């Protein structure tokens, strides 16, 4: 990850010139930091988009789950009604021997309807459980991505603040060194100038006779 690479970078020490830092070196360093921050920001935006997609999928899954639950409740209610109707129509076991062929055929139809109702109920339960498991899985993934995004954001901000502090601290220290160097040179120059004695130049004699032309 880019954040891990940024965290392993060593602080840069800029070269000092007589009038300050080497501007091209500072510009290159700041450009590199900006590029890294843009890449980190792009990663965070991509993670955020994944979270939003998972959220939409989760909401859709919840809607599907609710629809299946409503369908299951309706089917369960119908199954109970069918079971009650079957129990009402089912003949007394003691009278089954005396059933007519039509009554026996009705008995078979009732048993088939009961089996079909049980199958419908079982399928509704299985589908509801599958949707519930899927919704829980998506919810866990979303929580993990949100936590990961928050952690990466905090690390990115902390590292950016640390690097900015290092750059400022280095600038302050280098400026202090440069200022001290200038002050030392000024003091040395002043000390040397104060001890300097100009050589005496003999004055020109005013009464010197000029040569006479012959």
Q: DSSP letters of 44-73?
A: HHHHHHHHHHHHHHHHHHHHHHHHHHHHHH
Higher pLDDT, 175 or 116: 116
CA-to-CA distance for 5 and 12, rounded, in angstroms?
A: 15
How many helices and strands (H and E) does the chain possess? 3, 2
Rg (CA), the chain: 47
pLDDT band at 60 (very low <50, low <70, confident <90, very high): confident
Residues 170-187 have a mean pLDDT of 75
Higher pLDDT, 198 or 62: 62
CA-to-CA distance for 51 and 149, rounded, in angstroms?
A: 9
Higher pLDDT, 4 or 57: 57
The predicted pLDDT at position 211 comes to: 53
The predicted pLDDT at position 1 comes to: 44
The per-residue pLDDT of the chain, averaged, comes to 69
Question: What does pTM read for this prediction?
Answer: 0.38
Contact 49, 34 (CB under 8 A): no
Residues 46-57 have a mean pLDDT of 76
Q: Which of 138, 154, 114, 167 is nearest to 57 (CA)?
A: 138
3-state helix, strand, coil in the chain (%, to 5): 80, 0, 15
Q: Which of 18, 39, 35 is nearest to 27 (CA)?
A: 35
Within its chain, how far is the Cα of 155 from the centroid? 9
CA-to-CA distance for 78 and 113, rounded, in angstroms?
A: 12
Higher pLDDT, 213 or 195: 195
Domains of the chain, first to last: 23-171 (1.20.120)
Q: Who's near 25: CB < 8 A, 6+ residues apart?
A: 14, 15
């Amino acid at each position: 990850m880019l954040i891990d690479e940024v965290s392993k970078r060593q602080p840069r020490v800029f070269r000092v010139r007589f009038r300050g830092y080497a501007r091209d070196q500072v510009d290159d360093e700041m450009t590199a930091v900006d590029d890294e921050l843009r890449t980190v920001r792009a990663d965070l935006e991509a993670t955020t988009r994944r979270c939003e997609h998972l959220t939409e999928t989760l909401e859709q899954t919840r809607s599907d789950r609710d629809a299946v639950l409503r369908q299951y409740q309706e089917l369960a209610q119908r199954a109970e009604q069918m079971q009650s109707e079957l129990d009402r129509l089912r003949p007394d076991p003691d009278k089954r021997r005396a059933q007519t062929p039509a009554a026996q055929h009705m008995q078979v139809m009732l048993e088939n309807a009961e089996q079909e109702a049980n199958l419908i109920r079982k399928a509704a339960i299985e589908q509801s459980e599958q949707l519930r498991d899927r919704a829980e899985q998506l919810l866990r993934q979303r929580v993990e991505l949100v936590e990961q995004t928050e952690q990466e954001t905090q690390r990115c901000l902390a590292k950016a603040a640390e690097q900015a502090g290092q750059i400022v601290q280095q600038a302050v220290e280098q400026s202090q060194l440069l200022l001290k160097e200038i002050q030392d040179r000024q003091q040395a120059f002043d000390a040397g100038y104060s001890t300097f004695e100009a050589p005496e130049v003999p004055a020109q004699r005013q009464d010197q006779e000029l040569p006479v032309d012959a």
